[in-house]
Structure formats: C-alpha cells, structure tokens
C-alpha cells in the first residue's frame, strides 16, 4: 500500500514537471532533507536566541556577535571556493576531489592564522585585549572548520541528502546545547566564542573521519576542479569579506548595543530565508551535469517562483513580527521595525539561482566581475547608509545591494549565453 502511494506521488510529481520545467522528484527528495535541516537548525537557533535575549546583556551579546563577525572575516582568507569545486566534481564521479580539497584547505589555513595574529596585534596596540584574545582563538580553529565543513558539499554532490541531514544534526544538536548552557552559566563573550568554534572544529573532524569510512570516496580526482576551486576562492575573497561589512560598520560606528539590536532584527528573516537556500544548494550539482541550453530553458521560471515564495514569506513575517518579539524577545522590541523591513532581503535567495548557474558552468570571468563589482558597490552603499541614517540606512542599503547583485548576476549569465549562441 505504501509503495502504491509512493508511486502515485512520484507520478504526480512527474506530471507537474511539464508546468514547472523542473525535476520535481529530485527537488522533492533533496528539498525534504535539506529543508528539514534548515527547519530544525532554525528552531535550534530560535531557542538559542531566546536564551541569549534572557541571559546576556545587549553589550555582551553585541560583543559576541562582533567576534563571530571577525571569525567570518578571517574565514574569507581560506579556500572558500573548494566547497563549490567539490559539489561540482563529485556528481561527475570525481569523489577523491573531496579529500584533496580538505587537505589543500588545511594547508592554506596558515594564511588565516597569520591574518588573525596580525589582527590580534592591532587590538593589543589599541588596548582591547578581549578582541585580541578572540582573534587568537579564531585563528586557531577557523582553518579546521573551513576545511572539514566540506563534508556537506561531498554528500550533496553524491545526492546523499539523508546522510547529510543526520551528520548535520550530529554537529548542531550538541553545539547549540553547549552554547545555551554556556550562556546560562558563564555568559562571557570570549568563552562563548571558544565553545562555538572549538566544538565545531572537534565535531567536524570526527564527522570527516566517519564519512571516509561510511561513504568512502573513490580515488578519482579532478585536478581541474581543484584548480577552479582555488581560483574561485580568490574571486570569492572580496565578496566573503564584504559580506560582514554590515556588522563591522554597526559595531565600529554605533557600538555593541546597536549591533545587538541589528542582530536580532536580522536573525529571524535570515533563518526564514535560509529555508529557500535548499533550491540553490540542490540546483548547483544539477546544473553541473546539465548542458547550458537546458539550464537556460528553465532558469527564469525557477527564479520567479522562488521570488514569489520569498515575497509571501517576507510579508507574512512582517505582519507577525510585533507579536513574535513581544512573546519571545521583549527586551529587543526596538528591533521590530528594522526586522520588518529587513525581511525583504529574503528575495535574494531567488536571485542566488543566477549565481549557481554561473558557478556550475565555470563561468569564472563572469563570476569574478559579479563578485568584485557587487562587493565594491555594497561597501559604498552600506557605508553611506549607516553614516547618513544609522541602522535604517544600513538596512535600506542591504536591500538595494541585494537587488543590484541579483540584477548583475542575471545580466552576466544572459550576456554569456548570448555570446555563446552567437559564436556557435
């Protein structure tokens, strides 16, 4: 009976493909596990934010958020493009690329360590020993975290979505539990940072070793994908660093308390938008093995449908946000209007499909133009926004820069397509 129902469901999905122009069976399978991961992680994060809101002062939480921002900034000096390289190589049978990519990232991590030490020296000279100690912790753990978290790209590339979900739970359940306990018992931003990064590094290393036993990759290595991953990392650098510019600007120009308000304003919309991230994650390995013409024929529909879902979600959230904050985050009631406007950034998850298309087809020149141009514009707009209008200006600048990023990515992809059609 179960098999019959399953066959009917698969048949209905196949029938719907004539209208959606999408592999609905693949999307349902991948979407279920990837979305389940996002939903549970959002619930965990929500619970953790309740703990933070009721146990940490705004200054402590703002300082902790700034330390996490520094960690993300330092991670931009790692080989961030290797995850994409693995996700692209594995579906084509080059599973050994996974181990080679991890090894390369660990070796390259020395650069992140050096950057962290230089940053720590800067803050020592400024007399801020808390941030200096934080950067030393970051420099030690971030290279390992950046390397071992490639496991997700490997499993998604092999279409092992269930296994990816289970391993993610093995990572995040103990991590969030320990962070909550630390917030309750100690409440020190430096200790929270150490627990966050230290637990991640240890568990990710254990997961990596487990995957090598359970889902042992073959010996096939795509050196071209590894080279592409390194070049992509160089292109990604500016974009990854600029991705933290909002928190950096908020902390340096406004202070830790406004950063805490901003963090609570952005947390829930970011988590809700993350539920749409599975479309990007699932699309990349699919795009990697499909001809360009096939991607072209369906990408507009994917973008518009995702944008519509994102817009509905943003409006719905904006309506319930006042009650939501009143019930769960009463200390951060001032975050509500910022959060309602920021919810529109969820539309960026639709435009990210254009970026997935550029990466999957190895359009590195176009992706480099996209990354550099949007990073420069984003920095200028956000700096002007916060200087002129404070947090409101920062959020408006985020919206504008996201829309511009999507427009640039689509234009670059379409121009590349038109040039290829003309040349052929």
Q: pLDDT value at position 71?
A: 97
Q: What is the full per-residue pLDDT of the chain (424 aa) written as tens digits?
A: 445 444 543 444 453 444 444 444 445 455 677 778 888 988 899 999 999 999 999 999 999 999 999 999 999 999 999 998 998 899 899 999 999 999 999 999 999 999 999 999 999 999 999 999 999 999 999 999 999 999 999 998 888 888 999 999 999 999 999 999 999 999 999 999 999 999 999 999 999 999 999 988 999 999 998 998 999 898 888 888 888 899 999 999 999 999 999 999 999 998 887 767 666 555 656 666 677 777 776 777 778 888 888 899 999 999 999 999 999 999 999 999 999 999 999 988 877 777 877 777 778 888 888 888 888 999 999 999 999 999 999 999 999 998 888 888 888 888 875 555 444 4
Torsional class of 312: left (φ above 0), alpha (ψ -120 to 50), beta (otherwise): alpha
By three-state DSSP, how is residue 76 classified?
coil
Name the DSSP letter for residue 330.
G
- Find all residues with CB under 8 Å of 4, minimum gap 6, and list them: none
CB count in 10 Å sphere of residue 103? 11
Instruction: Please count the CA atoms within 13 angstroms of the CA of 193 that sit on its side-chain side.
Output: 29
- Closest listed residue to residue 356, CA positions, set 305, 411, 299, 403: 299
DSSP-assigned letters across all residues of 339-353: HHHHGGGGGHHHHHH
Instruction: Please count the CA atoms within 13 angstroms of the CA of 39 that sit on its side-chain side.
Output: 6
**Cα(103)–Cα(99) distance, rounded to whole angstroms?**
6
Cα 158 off chain centre by:
20
Q: pLDDT value at position 13?
A: 42
Place of tokens 């689509």: 410
Q: pLDDT value at position 2?
A: 42
By three-state DSSP, how is residue 361 classified?
coil
Burial of 254 (0-12, 13-18, 19+ CB in 10 A): middle
Given a contact cutoff of 8 angstroms between Cβ atoms, the answer to whether 89 and 232 are in contact is no
**Cα(345)–Cα(354) distance, rounded to whole angstroms?**
16
Query: Would you list the domain boundaries of the chain?
Result: 1-23+243-424, 56-223
By three-state DSSP, how is residue 323 classified?
helix
């Amino acid at each position: 009976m179960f098999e019959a129902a399953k066959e009917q469901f698969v048949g209905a999905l196949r029938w719907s493909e004539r209208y959606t122009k999408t592999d609905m069976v693949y999307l349902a399978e991948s979407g279920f596990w990837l979305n389940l991961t996002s939903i549970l992680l959002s619930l965990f994060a929500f619970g953790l934010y309740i703990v933070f809101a009721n146990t940490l002062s705004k200054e402590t939480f703002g300082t902790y958020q700034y330390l996490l921002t520094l960690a993300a900034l330092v991670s931009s000096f790692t080989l961030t493009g290797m995850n994409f390289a693995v996700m692209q190589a594995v579906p084509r049978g080059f599973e050994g690329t996974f181990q080679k990519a991890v090894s390369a990232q660990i070796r390259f991590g020395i650069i992140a360590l050096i950057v962290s030490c230089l940053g720590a020296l800067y803050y020592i000279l400024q007399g801020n020993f808390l941030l200096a100690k934080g950067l030393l912790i970051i420099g030690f753990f971030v290279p390992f975290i950046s390397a071992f978290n490639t496991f997700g790209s490997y499993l998604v590339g092999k279409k092992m979505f269930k296994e990816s979900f289970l391993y993610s739970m093995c990572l995040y359940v103990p991590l969030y539990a320990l962070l909550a306990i630390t917030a309750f018992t100690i409440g020190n931003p430096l200790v929270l940072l150490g627990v966050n990064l230290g637990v991640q590094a240890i568990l990710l290393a254990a997961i990596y070793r487990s995957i090598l036993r359970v889902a042992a990759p073959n010996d096939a290595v795509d050196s071209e994908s590894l080279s592409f991953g390194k070049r992509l990392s160089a292109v990604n650098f500016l974009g990854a660093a600029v991705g933290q510019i909002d928190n950096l600007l908020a902390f340096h120009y406004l202070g830790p308390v406004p950063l805490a308000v901003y963090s609570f304003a952005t947390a829930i919309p970011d988590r809700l938008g993350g539920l749409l991230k599975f479309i990007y994650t699932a699309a990349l390995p699919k795009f990697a093995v499909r001809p360009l013409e096939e991607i072209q024929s369906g990408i507009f529909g994917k973008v518009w449908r995702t944008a519509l879902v994102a817009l509905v979600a943003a409006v719905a959230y904006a309506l319930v946000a006042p009650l939501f904050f009143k019930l769960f985050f009463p200390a951060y009631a001032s975050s509500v209007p910022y959060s309602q406007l920021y919810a529109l950034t969820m539309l960026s998850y639709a435009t990210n499909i254009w970026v997935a298309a550029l990466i999957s087809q190895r359009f590195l020149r176009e992706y480099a133009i996209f990354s550099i141009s949007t990073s420069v514009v984003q920095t200028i707009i956000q700096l002007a926004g916060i200087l002129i209008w404070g947090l409101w200006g920062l959020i408006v600048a985020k919206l504008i820069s996201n829309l511009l990023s999507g427009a640039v990515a689509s234009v670059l992809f379409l121009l590349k397509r038109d040039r290829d059609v003309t040349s052929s």
